[in-house]
């Protein structure tokens, strides 16, 4: 054996010894690191009882979506119900070897190390080599802290989880938990928010778009970064082709498709804000806030969207008509004509959009003459307000006092005024014949007075519509259920019902004449009067009810006793513990419109008392049904 050969053999022997020594040292170091970081690891048994926060949805009686409540907008879907194309898109984007590795992917780690060396040299941010299993560990058990310690713990837990749970279970957890941008948690909620579709309706390019989000939801927001998001989507489509999920033709066709997001169709959504808020309060009282915002309740309500629309329009129309009879209070604001108004109008419109109804617009007065006012809108289009439609606008000069009639638009408006206008009605069109109705507007104002309306089925107690005010956005205070008002003469039928219960008949004669009652020591005598101070003398009880005679109602209560009247008021649910005062018979004690409507429904149903109901059915999504109570 030559000296050169012996030298080579010696060199190999030395290298082998060094390598073996380093291997032992690496093994020892790895064992020590494993032992150190294996201590105090989170318990992952909770994954077997996965109960994520899910969105609570309210539906109208016809099945339209009414409202959603959630801390995290999520809809849980088992893996068996997630289409294959959706699973494949996420696997190609995040972890193509998911079904082969044991929780960590050595090839992925090597690829990440190589890319990080390149990125570090170019000053770019570093990338991770996390598998889907590691992402599940991070989302469920650890924090988002970027550190070597967290990555080691993540890898240890990923391996352990893979030994306990099936791959399908881990993928199910991942696809339901992951945040996918636009307030969406999980693939089902994302499909609804991005495309207004269920998962089984998604195309392959739409599934690939969703798969762009786990990497960086803020960066790949298609609304703000169209090109970057499309580039990432197309890369995922190429990966799906490389992984054998798509043919080349399918990939090319999908990449040609532009990014298209779809909002919910307005026709698919019911609008009943006051009603929905009342249901929300009811659910919170019944089950608590956690169940409401995280329990995934599916609630079918009693509201009829068509009747609700009629109720809203009727209430707003009545409030507007009442308000207009009391004069014009002036513009909503004023912009100096020397200033640029466009940006200011846009800002003012956004600040007041909650008060602006469908069809109404805000405009700036730019021209006035004897016959009309010209307004310009945010989009720089113009409209005309004919003077013929402005004659109601007598200014209020004092509380309840109107000034002189106006003779021209300049009497009521000036240049720079920001005014609210709305479409003209069919009746108004008769006053302004020969104009372009598409560009002709009615001068309007937001009513100062407010009110409420309740529509209830008297035979079942189901509340079909509820309007708690002119505009929900200005206040969620529900005047139908929360505002206590004196019912006035609307309480009289219940006084007469008490009379019928105590032997009186419609033909019983009761004196309609002035009456006086002592209110106690030191208090003045109570002298209720009829409207216009007119009296009919001896009159049948039926006429007294028909004509709403105050003094007859008081005398009837005297004859049967105030306690019996109060008892009827309590039995019908109008009052709980009213004072023992005779003024109650004329509706002087406060109650709510909701309670009064319920009481009248009992009269309409022949005396049958129905408990008012806003909810038909409550079920917990994928957990079974609950009684509405």
Supply the residues annotated as catalytic: 94, 489
Nearest-10 crossing angle of helices 148-164, 3-37: 80
The Cα–Cα gap between 136 and 158 comes to 8
559 phi, psi to nearest 5 deg = -70, -35
The CA-atom distances, in angstroms, between 424 and each of 81, 286, 438, 441 are: 51, 46, 9, 6
Exposed, middle or buried: residue 308 (CB in 10 Å: 0-12, 13-18, 19+)? Answer: buried
Classify strands 615-620 and 297-301 as parallel, antiparallel or unpaired: antiparallel
* Region for 3 from its dihedrals, namely left if φ exceeds 0, alpha if ψ lies in -120 to 50, beta otherwise: alpha
Contacts of 587 (CB under 8 A, 6+ apart): 486, 487, 488, 489, 490, 491, 492
Q: Which two tokens stand for residue 32?
A: 């020590």
Nearest alpha-carbon partner for 301 in 124, 46, 61, 498: 61
Q: How many CA atoms lie within 13 A of 395 on its CB side?
A: 12
Exposed, middle or buried: residue 25 (CB in 10 Å: 0-12, 13-18, 19+)? Answer: exposed
3-state secondary structure of 458: coil
Q: How far is CA 154 from the centre of its chain?
A: 38
Contacts of 94 (CB under 8 A, 6+ apart): 131, 132, 135, 211, 214, 215
Nearest-10 crossing angle of helices 226-242, 84-94: 100
DSSP 413: -
The CA-atom distances, in angstroms, between 488 and each of 492, 542, 583, 596 are: 8, 19, 10, 11
Cβ distance 389 to 432 under 8 Å? yes
Cβ distance 137 to 156 under 8 Å? no
539-553 per-residue burial string, b: 16 or more CB within 10 A, e: under 16: bbbebbbeebbbbbb
The Cα–Cα gap between 391 and 402 comes to 13
Sign of the CA dihedral with 237 first, then 243, 246, and 251 last: positive
Residues in the chain: 629
Contacts of 421 (CB under 8 A, 6+ apart): 360, 361, 362, 363, 375, 383, 385, 441, 442, 443, 444
Contacts of 190 (CB under 8 A, 6+ apart): 180, 181, 182, 184, 210, 213
Contacts of 351 (CB under 8 A, 6+ apart): none
DSSP 258: P
Question: 453: which strand partners?
Answer: 467
> What would the 3-class secondary structure string for 94-132 be?
HCCCCCCCCCCCHHHHHHHHHHHHHHHHHCCCCCCCCCH
């Amino acid at each position: 054996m030559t000296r050169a050969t012996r030298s080579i053999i010696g060199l190999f022997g030395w290298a082998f010894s060094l390598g073996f020594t380093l291997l032992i040292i690496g093994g020892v170091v790895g064992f020590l690191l494993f032992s150190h970081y294996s201590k105090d690891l989170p318990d992952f048994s909770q994954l077997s009882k996965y109960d994520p926060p899910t969105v609570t949805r309210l539906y109208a009686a016809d099945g339209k979506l009414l409202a959603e409540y959630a801390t995290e907008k999520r809809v849980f879907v088992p893996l068996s119900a997630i289409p294959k194309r959706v699973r494949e898109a996420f696997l190609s984007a995040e972890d193509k070897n998911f079904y082969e590795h044991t929780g960590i992917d050595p090839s992925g780690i090597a690829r990440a190390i190589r890319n990080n060396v390149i990125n570090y040299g170019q000053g770019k941010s570093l990338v991770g080599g996390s598998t889907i299993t590691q992402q599940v560990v991070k989302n469920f058990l650890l924090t988002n802290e970027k550190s070597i310690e967290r990555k080691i713990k993540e890898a240890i837990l990923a391996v352990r989880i893979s030994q306990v749970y099936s791959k399908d279970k881990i993928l199910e957890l991942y696809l339901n938990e992951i945040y996918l941008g636009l307030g969406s948690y999980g693939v089902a909620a994302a499909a609804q928010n991005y495309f207004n579709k269920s998962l089984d309706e998604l195309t392959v390019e739409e599934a690939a778009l969703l798969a762009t989000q786990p990497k960086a939801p803020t960066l790949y927001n298609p609304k703000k970064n169209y090109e970057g998001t499309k580039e990432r989507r197309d890369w995922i489509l190429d990966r799906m082709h490389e992984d054998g999920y798509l043919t080349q033709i399918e990939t090319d066709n999908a990449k040609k498709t532009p990014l298209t997001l779809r909002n919910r169709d307005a026709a698919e959504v019911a609008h009943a804000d006051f009603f929905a808020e009342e249901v929300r309060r009811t659910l919170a009282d019944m089950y608590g806030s956690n169940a409401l915002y995280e329990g995934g309740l599916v609630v079918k309500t009693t509201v009829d969207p068509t009747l609700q629309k009629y109720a809203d329009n009727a209430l707003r129309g009545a409030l507007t008509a009442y308000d207009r009879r009391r004069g014009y209070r002036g513009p909503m604001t004023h912009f100096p004509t020397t200033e640029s108004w466009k940006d200011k109008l846009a800002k003012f419109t956004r600040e007041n959009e909650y008060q602006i109804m469908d069809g109404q617009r805000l405009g700036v007065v730019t021209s006035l003459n004897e016959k009309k006012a010209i307004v310009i809108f945010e989009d720089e289009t113009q409209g005309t307000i004919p003077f013929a439609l402005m004659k109601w606008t007598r200014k209020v000069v004092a509380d309840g006092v109107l000034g002189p009639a106006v003779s021209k638009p300049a009497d009521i408006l000036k240049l720079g005024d920001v005014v609210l206008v709305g479409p003209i009605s069919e009746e108004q069109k008769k006053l302004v014949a020969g104009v372009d109705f598409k560009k002709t507007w009615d001068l309007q104002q937001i009513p100062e007075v407010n009110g409420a309306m309740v529509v209830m089925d008297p035979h079942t107690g189901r509340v079909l519509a509820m309007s708690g005010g002119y505009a929900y956005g200005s206040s969620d205070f529900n005047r139908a259920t929360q505002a206590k008002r004196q019912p006035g003469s609307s309480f009289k039928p219940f006084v007469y019902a008490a009379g019928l219960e105590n032997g009186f008949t419609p033909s019983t004669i009761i004196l309609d004449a002035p009456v006086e009652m002592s209110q106690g020591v030191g208090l003045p005598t109570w002298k209720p009067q009829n409207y216009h101070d007119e009296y009919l003398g001896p009159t049948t009880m039926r006429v007294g009810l028909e004509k709403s005679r105050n003094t007859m109602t008081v005398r009837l209560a005297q004859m049967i006793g105030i306690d019996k009247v109060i008892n009827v008021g309590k039995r019908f649910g109008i009052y709980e513990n009213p004072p023992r005062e005779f003024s109650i018979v004329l509706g002087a004690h406060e109650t709510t419109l909701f309670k009064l409507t319920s009481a009248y429904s009992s009269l309409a149903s022949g005396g049958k008392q129905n408990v008012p109901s806003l909810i038909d059915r409550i079920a917990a999504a994928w957990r079974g049904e609950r009684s509405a109570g």
